[in-house]
Amino acid sequence: MAVGKGSIIRATNASAAAEEKNKKAAISAGAETAAKEKRKTAEHQAAALASVRNPLAEIPLAEIHQVPEKWMGRRRNAGSVSELAESIRRHGMIEPVILRQMEDNRFQLLSGYRRFCAVQELGQSTITARVLEGVADQEAQEIYNDLHGIAERSSMHEAKFQAISMVSGTLPDYLL
């Protein structure tokens, strides 16, 4: 079967049209991903703005719960709580703890563990807090990680391990 000049042109046009369609789909997918990232950033900014708008509140210590242990990149260190307690006793709470209000109206401590421990040591029944409302579990974990630099520390340790193994060819037993 002979292929005429018109058939080649139609095939070339069809190929060009398919390529153009693929480019548009790729651009659309990229735009969709960018839009999702932009929405996520906007949501975090909205949460941050909401926290600024939220006035400080005195929250009963009994209503505050810790974050799940799996969120923590390392064990919490309550080091020198006595000194901090003395400072709070003398000067008051200079920086409030950050809590999120959960669906069951309990509060979850996102930042300020040592301050929380110090206030407990002082025998107080409430703590000055900034409360974030409407924050889902995943977003709360992201906020916790951001506030505590967990992701940065994790990647820093990974980079150290890679550098040590590149220099020595293996990791020493005490690092495993």
Choose between 171 and 17: higher pLDDT. Answer: 17
Tokens representing 141 are: 């974990």
Is pTM beyond 0.75? Reply is no
CA distances from 155 to 43, 159, 161, 162 (A): 25, 6, 10, 10
Which residue type occupies 13? N
- Fold for 54-149, please state it: 3.90.1530
Q: What is the DSSP letter of 62?
A: G
**Residue 173 carries which DSSP code?**
G
Parse the chain into domains and list their residue ranges: 54-149
Q: Is residue 71's pLDDT more than 80?
A: no
- The pLDDT of residue 73 is 54
Q: Summarize the confidence of residues 67-86 as an average pLDDT.
A: 70
- pLDDT tens digits for range 37-56: 666 666 665 555 554 566 78
Residue 49, both tokens: 């703005």
Residue with tokens 């301050």: 115
Question: In terms of C-beta density within 10 A (0-12 exposed, 13-18 middle, 19 or more buried), how is residue 72 classed?
Answer: middle
Tell me what pLDDT residue 140 has: 81
125-134, 135-144, 161-170: the lowest-pLDDT one: 161-170
